[in-house]
Amino acid sequence: MPVLNTVTALLFSLLLLATPLRAEPVDELLAALDNISQLQGEFRQRQYSQGDVLESESSGRFRLLRPGYFAWEITAPDSQLIIANAEYLWHFDRDLETVTRRPLADSEAMTPLQVLGGNDAALRRNYAVGQDAEGRFVLTPHTTDAGFRRLILELDGRLIRGMEVLDNLNQRVLIDFEALDPDSPLTAADFEFMPPPDADLFYHDE
């Protein structure tokens, strides 16, 4: 009987070794993001109040080049441009004619867009990652100064299908992506920004 028990235990151990271990959600997210080296397209954004009442809608275009580059341009109903490159996070409000610049290192954990364009180490450092019943990735910031409480990403191969953000006031922002193009080449030059000469400048790195 002891020999039989030993053999049974050995077979059980071998079975466990042969069973593939499921990767951690953060590793699955990083692997999924690795499939997206570049992407551009259009977006539609809806913001809901705490009572889940639709408060505003906007639309525009975006560009993404990983790691480290993204451009988010709102074209309706107003006109704004957010650009992250290797050094700075820029925000240009065309209606107000103001430009804000922040060092990118100070903004890593402050914007959901940086999750898409940022580096792997920053994602591991700043977020706890899980998955919901629909297979979407759920990111929760480790700190309370991130500007949002939860971020949900819906990825599909080389594409980003949707994003949901819950901010610190329990307001939801839903973003749908469409007209997606993962093939047209993008370079760092596509994310260069020169402030217009007549804009008011606010530099937070000086």
The structure's pTM equals 0.81
Structural domains in the chain, sorted by start:
24-203 (2.50.20.10)
Buried b (16+ CB within 10 A) or exposed e, 97-131: eebbbbebeebbbbbbbbbbbbeeebbeebbebee
Q: Using one digit for the tens of pLDDT, what is the confidence trace for 169-197? A: 899 999 999 999 999 999 999 999 999 99
Confidence tier at 17 by pLDDT (50, 70, 90): very low
- Who has greater pLDDT, 138 or 21? 138
Distance CA 141, CA 201 (A): 30
Residue % of the chain over a pLDDT of 70: 84
Per-residue pLDDT tens for 85-143? 878 999 999 999 999 999 876 555 456 777 787 678 878 888 999 999 999 999 999 88
Instruction: Tell me which amino acid residue 2 is.
Output: P
